[in-house]
Structure 1
Amino acid sequence: MNQAVHNKLVSFIWSIADDCLRDVYVRGKYRDVILPMVVLRRLDALLEPTKDAVLEEMAFQKDEAKFTEWDENGLRQASGYVFYNTSEWTLQRLHDTATNNQQILQANFEDYLKGYSGNVKEIIEKFNLKRQVQHMASKDVLLNVLEKFTSSYINLTPFEKNDPDGRKLPPLSNLGMGYVFEELIRKFNEDNNEEAGEHFTPREVIDLMTHIIFEPIKDKLPPVMTIYDPACGSGGMLTESQNFIKDEDGEIKAKGDVYLYGKEINDETYAICKSDMMIKGNNPENIRVGSTLSTNEFAGTTFDFMLSNPPYGKSWASEQKFIKDGKDIIDPRFKIKLQNYWGIEEEADATPRSSDGQLLFLMEMVNKMKPLSQSKLGSRIASVHNGSSLFTGDAGGGESNIRRYIIENDWLEAIVQMPNNLFYNTGITTYIWILSNNKSNKRKGKVQLIDAGFMFRKLRKNLGNKNCEFAPEHIREIVSVYEKMQAVDRKVDDEQGISSKVFDNTDFGYYKVTIERPKRLKAQFTAERIEELRFDKTLREPMAWAYETYREKVYTEIAKHEKAIIEWCEKNELNLNAKQTKTLVTQATWQKQLDLVTLAMDLMKKIGSKEFNDFNLFKERVDEALAAKKLKLSSSEKNAILNAVSWYDADAEKVVKGTTKLAGDKLKELLAYLGCKEKELGDYGYFATEKKGEYLEYETESNLRDTENVPLKEAIYTYFLREVKPHVGEAWINLDATKIGYEISFNKYFYKHKPLRSIEDVTADILALEKESDGLIAEILGL
């Protein structure tokens, strides 16, 4: 859309709000009137030329006895669109016949709204327009608003027209409507310190996406095409895609029909999208309202092409209950299976963190790809994301698993990095993901990364955050690099140009390997350490306060002090849950801890206060003492005592977990399982003793546990010997904890190091500045 035309139209519409609605609505509420009136006027202006034909068709149907209700097909044919209005009114007639009696005008306006076909009535309901009409009438501004919107100096239709002075008024396309919508939302909300919440996709970004999606297969387009956008907004992505492939003047012209499908959660943008579908003759029933994530609206349907700019950085916490039941995925769109390190297929988590659901929209599109058994072309996807989708999430996490699922199925063709400040309401870096389940032979097993972050031209005037755009030649070059699958580097001083690199799928994958180290503990019974057993470690702070305050009474009269203890917890903002609170003020809790103190004191009398450098020997002494007293403790009670009187020390002996007999078939099985030789078993946590076939396993020290990210193309053991073993000789690999992750880093692959300037150059600059500062720098530096 021409920027001057855009600015003029926005200013005109804003003047309507400012002239007519001031003092009637707060500025943030102007949108409640202006947006529906813009949409309504677009529809009304289209129906004006055929109004008489529609009324004649109604008269004909009334005269035909066989018609017991309106024949919608006849009315649509008469109107020339998939919508119609059976009332005698148009907005122009409402204005021309109006008097100063706002009540009569309101009644006529409501009669006009009732005359619309059901598909338009839904739009009116989404905008809650009837209530706004009533409010404007009660404030005596309805006629003024009507006068503005029926002005012959404004063109809200998708067709060119002339104003009364003979000047051409450019058409307002769906994309232009989207731009106007975004700008109006921004202006309406700026006084309320709110944001539009939309990231409207600029025309040139859609142009790039449509070129990349359709051009490579322009000679193979199916006779009937379906296009889907799961976050369709005002519909620009859909209608521009349709325009692109049906363009009679361009290189691509589809011979068959194009059917558009979309879903949108925002009522306002949904209404705008649906109205435009009706204007263009598309089936408005294919546009649905509601959350894409919470409802699988088009379940069982697959699409040839999918283009979308889903919301990013937006929470999907309110939709979690429709997707997950605890840890279980209940929505089949987000159920995936991946192989673990051992090659065993398992169900994997395919949901990102609840604060950002953009990858769920990508999974929605992947779920609706056409299998090659249905279409030789398969499906092609273009989806806009921010950087989070590339690298957020650890190995085994939802985001990483989604990337892995897409890449390992060989659906990811390319990712294009775009410039900052390219979008209307955000300045962040954005990326276009291009997916296909029918890659060409040269792309199989490969992913192309294109850095087009420096391909732009500046705008003369910003549109919101948007201060730059792709020029046609930029789009042509990006598409050319993509189609040729070129590895190029045309960047000049990081200021202009394009770079592209081609990678194997596995280049983005890595093993997250857990490296263990043995636990080394010293142990000693002391009164001070035993005293810690008086308090449950999860409730130490409140229990310590209560004991210090009430002393021995906590063991006999805890119920009397319950209220005071709970008040103290609330005052100190401990945020205990109901279960913790109940445990804290229960007599059994205190008695259990006191019993542990008593038992530990008895053990100290038996074993003494000697410091043990070997925890294994200390544990034996404790077991002997317990056996002598004929006491059987639960493992949790015994561990509580041992943990209270032991601590990590690098000079202590290793803590033995147990011994394992490995010989014959058992040894062969383990070696095959680990994929190692017998002499390498120590590097996997099995340490040979002096007895043949006997191996020690040590307890692990969680505080010293580490992880290493090993590229998929490198053997884990080779990496371990090179990067870990020389530095931590007693470490070993825990293969059972190994996870596979995928991430994509443009900085890693395209960053160019710039060496620092030489000291001579810096000194020369300082001395040059010195001449401009009358010797001040020389005085400071002592030169």
Structure 2
Amino acid sequence: MVANKQAVIDLVYDIANKLRGPYRPPQYRRVMLPMTVLRRLDLLLQPTKDDVIAELERLEAQGLQGDVLHKVLARKASRGRRQPLYNVSPFTFEKMLGDPPNIAANLISFINGFSENVRRIFERFEFETEIEKLDKSNRLFLIVKEFTDPKVKLHPNDLDNADMGDVFEELVRRFNEQANEEAGDHFTPREVIRLMANLVYTDEEDVWKPGIVRTIYDPTCGTGGMLSVSEDVIKSQNDKAHLELFGQEYNAESWAICCADMLIKDEAVDNIAFDDTLTDDGHHDRRFHYMLANPPFGVEWKPQEDVVKKEHDDLGFAGRFGPGLPAIRDGATLFLMHMISKMHPSPEHGGEGSKIAIVFNGSPLFNGDPGPSESNIRRWIIENDWLDAIVALPDQLFYNTGILTYIWIVSNRKPEHRRGKVQLIDASRHYVKMTKSKGDKRNRIAGTEAGDPDQIADIVRLYGDYQDGATARVLGKNGDKEEWEDRVCCRIFDNRDFGYLKVTVERPLRLNFQVSAERIARVANESAFQNLAKSKKKFGNADYKSEVAAGEAHQAAIIAALEAAVSDKLFKNRDTFADHLEGVLAGVTPKVPANVRKALISALSERDQTADLCLDNKGDPEPDAELRDVELVSLPDNAPAKLPIGYDRDADNSNLLDLVRDHCEGYLAREVTPYVADAWIDHTKTKVGYEIPINRHFYVYKPPRELEAIEAEITALEKDILTQLKKVAS
């Protein structure tokens, strides 16, 4: 391309600085982003401008008006485009400069002269408000003049859509940095998008066939980077593919930029929905072949909670969120469930299937206890054999966070050799240091700039080769130094390897009992005892006061009876002590309720492993909550891919329940009872969980340095410090 995108970025940013005064730096974006879009459209349409106006005059002379006129004009003026794009105003940027006093009115007229799809874009920018403000502050003419400078090369022939995306990415990052906002809400680094796209389309044979029709969707599309890069990756190898791009975005500014980019590429703007994906699915009746997304992670979904929970409760698996809901502090996995609901039926079910790439932080790998949480979401995905691969990315890769991130590849059209398995790729050392950091972004995955080692191709090779134990040349750490080394970067596991049984191990409750002054003092803390002196009557009336007084008298009588029975005698059997306590309280009136007697027994007890077992109504040992433990047990080797755990026996699950029970009992006998003989498993509490400890599988142990080397280093530092101090002293 003719234009240097960095030069364009710098020129536009220099123009932005001319807004200082009426605008603060964080507000520059309100002007600069729509002006950049507007000038790009102006340059694109200038060659056909005179012909369009002539056609308009001819149609008006024929008596055409309103919608009919614009429908005919859209067909004729757009010259073979699928999407109408034209401007019927007499103005261009250059012509507006010839009438400085009326530049505000002329600029508004220029915007209103666009085809309806462009006007909708500028309504989202809310640009007319800024035009008025610019005009009043005598900045409008200056800004239009600066954008008209031929050095600001914004024509698509000078700066293609991919490079234009980079320009917008950097401008938004700079403006957000001034506003102390998170650029990650808008953009994913282009090398990450390119990696995701290449991973998604690897092993996809159909997408490379000439004439193939495929749909691509991003539910959090921002300015459309993932859609554009996906299209570029496919078109670069199959220019005869027919691709339809779909997206949804709730940020008005990002939506407008995305739609402008789509329109310039002659893509349907109506395919980009505007609203919150979680609460108002803009494509509720559509399914897609390929989906890519970088949803907001580490962000609360409280604003969407009511709608999401209602769908989960009312529709279950017939809706988008059947398996469960994540913790309220991070709703990223909601977007993955949404995307899975958009998959075509699998080939086994008569469909074409779909493939997904989504970026997460580490939380979805392990957050959530077994049950309707992130654990159940993982379980649902893995047990349905949809999780294909997870790629660990380097840290300090995104503009607004330095944390580690992960690409999940999810598909219901796995090839035969990938079925029943999950591939883990450690690409956390596939990076090069940036010469200049951008926000929190200090690293980048090489492969998108001239002279780079092609690390993107290396990661895609690991994915495509599908070899357990495959190595790659990566940056490794040797102390404080980074050195290139060969390291295992690919592991392949069976689906079941990520599952486990959460088993509750109980031990019996053993208590001793005594009526002593110290233990009687605990009685006042028991809620059942406290409730004796409470009333449900209205506060302050006679009934309220009399009930409270009667309760306090009852409490005093109980305490008096206990104090009269103080003794050194220690009971080690609960039933025997209960009989003794019955006698102690025999003279108390009114009779002590059963729940209060139970509270008294609790207050007068202490744990004692030499005491008798406390038994329940069935004569079974009662578990001690303080001694309760939880063990994580691997799934049985001979269990099916889906392992329902429930304790309402029926013909379909009784064998599975016995299998799980026997497996857990075997674990107990091997690992627990040799050390704690009285332990048992409460099988009614057994749950299935799933987690993906990817970092553990790639851990490389490095022994600590020899003490002699550390001591020598400290000695050398001490000598250096002394030398420096002597120089200061002299």
Q: TM-score if structure 1 supplies the norm length?
A: 0.79
Q: Pairwise mapping of residues 51-130 of structure 1 onto structure 2 (< 5 A)?
A: 51-65=49-63, 69=67, 70-80=69-79, 82-99=83-100, 101=101, 104-130=102-128
Contact map agreement 1:421 1:427 (CA 8 A) in 2: yes
CA–CA separation in structure 1 for the residues paired with 2:670 and 2:585: 47
Contact map agreement 1:530 1:597 (CA 8 A) in 2: no
The reply on whether 1:704 has 2:678 as its aligned counterpart is no
Distance 1:528 1:443, change over 3 A: same
CA–CA separation in structure 1 for the residues paired with 2:239 and 2:300: 39
What corresponds to 1:723 in structure 2? 671
What corresponds to 1:739 in structure 2? 687
Number of paired residues?
A: 675
Contact map agreement 1:607 1:621 (CA 8 A) in 2: no
Distance 1:221 1:379, change over 3 A: farther
Over the matched positions of the two proteins, sequence identity in percent amounts to: 38
- How far apart are residue 632 of structure 1 and its match? 6.6
Contact map agreement 1:380 1:434 (CA 8 A) in 2: yes
The reply on whether 1:291 has 2:265 as its aligned counterpart is no
CA–CA separation in structure 2 for the residues paired with 1:61 and 1:636: 90
CA–CA separation in structure 2 for the residues paired with 1:220 and 1:446: 24
- How far apart are residue 434 of structure 1 and its match? 0.9
CA–CA separation in structure 1 for the residues paired with 2:702 and 2:395: 21
- How far apart are residue 503 of structure 1 and its match? 0.4
Matched residue type, 2:225: G
Q: Pairwise mapping of residues 224-373 of structure 1 onto structure 2 (< 5 A)?
A: 224-247=213-236, 252-253=237-238, 255-325=240-310, 328=313, 332-336=318-322, 348=323, 350-372=324-346
Give a deviation string over 1:298-321, Cα, whole Å, max 9, x none: 223111011111111111111011
What corresponds to 1:38 in structure 2? 36
The reply on whether 1:476 has 2:457 as its aligned counterpart is yes
Query: Higher mean Cα deviation, 699-708 or 470-479?
Result: 470-479
SS at 2:685 equivalent:
strand
CA–CA separation in structure 1 for the residues paired with 2:115 and 2:544: 68
Distance 1:592 1:295, change over 3 A: farther
The reply on whether 1:597 has 2:555 as its aligned counterpart is yes
CA–CA separation in structure 1 for the residues paired with 2:709 and 2:391: 37
- How far apart are residue 445 of structure 1 and its match? 0.6
Distance 1:31 1:766, change over 3 A: closer
What corresponds to 1:640 in structure 2? 599
Query: Higher mean Cα deviation, 209-218 or 765-774?
Result: 765-774
Contact map agreement 2:124 2:252 (CA 8 A) in 1: yes
CA–CA separation in structure 1 for the residues paired with 2:38 and 2:693: 46
CA–CA separation in structure 1 for the residues paired with 2:107 and 2:723: 80
Matched residue type, 2:679: A
- How far apart are residue 772 of structure 1 and its match? 5.7
Distance 1:503 1:589, change over 3 A: farther
CA–CA separation in structure 1 for the residues paired with 2:610 and 2:107: 89
- How far apart are residue 375 of structure 1 and its match? 6.0
Distance 1:320 1:54, change over 3 A: same
CA–CA separation in structure 1 for the residues paired with 2:16 and 2:205: 46
Query: Higher mean Cα deviation, 462-471 or 327-336?
Result: 327-336
Distance 1:213 1:51, change over 3 A: same
Distance 1:770 1:296, change over 3 A: closer
- How far apart are residue 591 of structure 1 and its match? 5.2
Contact map agreement 1:508 1:744 (CA 8 A) in 2: yes
Give a deviation string over 1:456-491, Cα, whole Å, max 9, x none: 233333333333333332222222221121121345
CA–CA separation in structure 2 for the residues paired with 1:320 and 1:441: 39
- How far apart are residue 598 of structure 1 and its match? 3.7
Q: Pairwise mapping of residues 490-529 of structure 1 onto structure 2 (< 5 A)?
A: 490=472, 493=476, 495-496=483-484, 497=486, 499-526=489-516, 529=519
Contact map agreement 1:183 1:464 (CA 8 A) in 2: no
- How far apart are residue 421 of structure 1 and its match? 2.1
Distance 1:295 1:770, change over 3 A: closer
- How far apart are residue 152 of structure 1 and its match? 1.2
CA–CA separation in structure 1 for the residues paired with 2:250 and 2:594: 53
Matched residue type, 2:198: H
Give a deviation string over 1:533-583, Cα, whole Å, max 9, x none: 55664999xx9xxxxxxxx9x99999679xxxxxxxxxxxxxxxxxxxxxx
Distance 1:775 1:145, change over 3 A: closer
- How far apart are residue 201 of structure 1 and its match? 2.0
Where structure 2 has 5 or more consecutive residues not aligned to the other structure, the ranges are 448-453, 478-482, 638-662, 725-730
Contact map agreement 2:22 2:137 (CA 8 A) in 1: yes
- How far apart are residue 630 of structure 1 and its match? 9.2
- How far apart are residue 57 of structure 1 and its match? 2.3
Matched residue type, 1:75: A
- How far apart are residue 621 of structure 1 and its match? 3.4
- How far apart are residue 604 of structure 1 and its match? 2.6
SS at 2:385 equivalent:
coil
CA–CA separation in structure 1 for the residues paired with 2:12 and 2:313: 50
Distance 1:638 1:148, change over 3 A: farther
CA–CA separation in structure 2 for the residues paired with 1:48 and 1:587: 89
Contact map agreement 2:509 2:621 (CA 8 A) in 1: yes
- How far apart are residue 286 of structure 1 and its match? 0.6
SS at 2:684 equivalent:
strand
CA–CA separation in structure 1 for the residues paired with 2:391 and 2:358: 10
Contact map agreement 1:533 1:594 (CA 8 A) in 2: no
- How far apart are residue 143 of structure 1 and its match? 0.7
Distance 1:67 1:185, change over 3 A: closer
- How far apart are residue 716 of structure 1 and its match? 2.0
The equivalent position to 1:378 in structure 2, one of 336, 349, 353, is 353
Distance 1:22 1:638, change over 3 A: same
Q: Pairwise mapping of residues 139-218 of structure 1 onto structure 2 (< 5 A)?
A: 139-160=137-158, 171-173=159-161, 175-198=162-185, 200-218=187-205
Give a deviation string over 1:495-551, Cα, whole Å, max 9, x none: 5455101100011111111111222222333466545555664999xx9xxxxxxxx
Give a deviation string over 1:392-441, Cα, whole Å, max 9, x none: 22222511111111111001111111212222332221111111101111
Matched residue type, 1:736: T
Matched residue type, 2:562: M
What corresponds to 2:656 in structure 1? none
- How far apart are residue 135 of structure 1 and its match? 0.9
CA–CA separation in structure 2 for the residues paired with 1:590 and 1:415: 64
SS at 1:657 equivalent:
coil
SS at 2:202 equivalent:
helix
Where structure 1 has 5 or more consecutive residues not aligned to the other structure, the ranges are 161-170, 337-347, 544-551, 562-584, 660-695, 777-783
What corresponds to 1:419 in structure 2? 394
CA–CA separation in structure 2 for the residues paired with 1:592 and 1:210: 76
Distance 1:125 1:697, change over 3 A: same
CA–CA separation in structure 1 for the residues paired with 2:693 and 2:410: 18
The reply on whether 1:449 has 2:424 as its aligned counterpart is yes
SS at 1:522 equivalent:
strand
The reply on whether 1:489 has 2:471 as its aligned counterpart is yes
- How far apart are residue 330 of structure 1 and its match? 5.0
Q: TM-score if structure 2 supplies the norm length?
A: 0.84
Matched residue type, 2:326: P
Give a deviation string over 1:696-730, Cα, whole Å, max 9, x none: 41222212211111111463223222322222222
Give a deviation string over 1:666-702, Cα, whole Å, max 9, x none: xxxxxxxxxxxxxxxxxxxxxxxxxxxxxx4122221
CA–CA separation in structure 1 for the residues paired with 2:179 and 2:458: 42
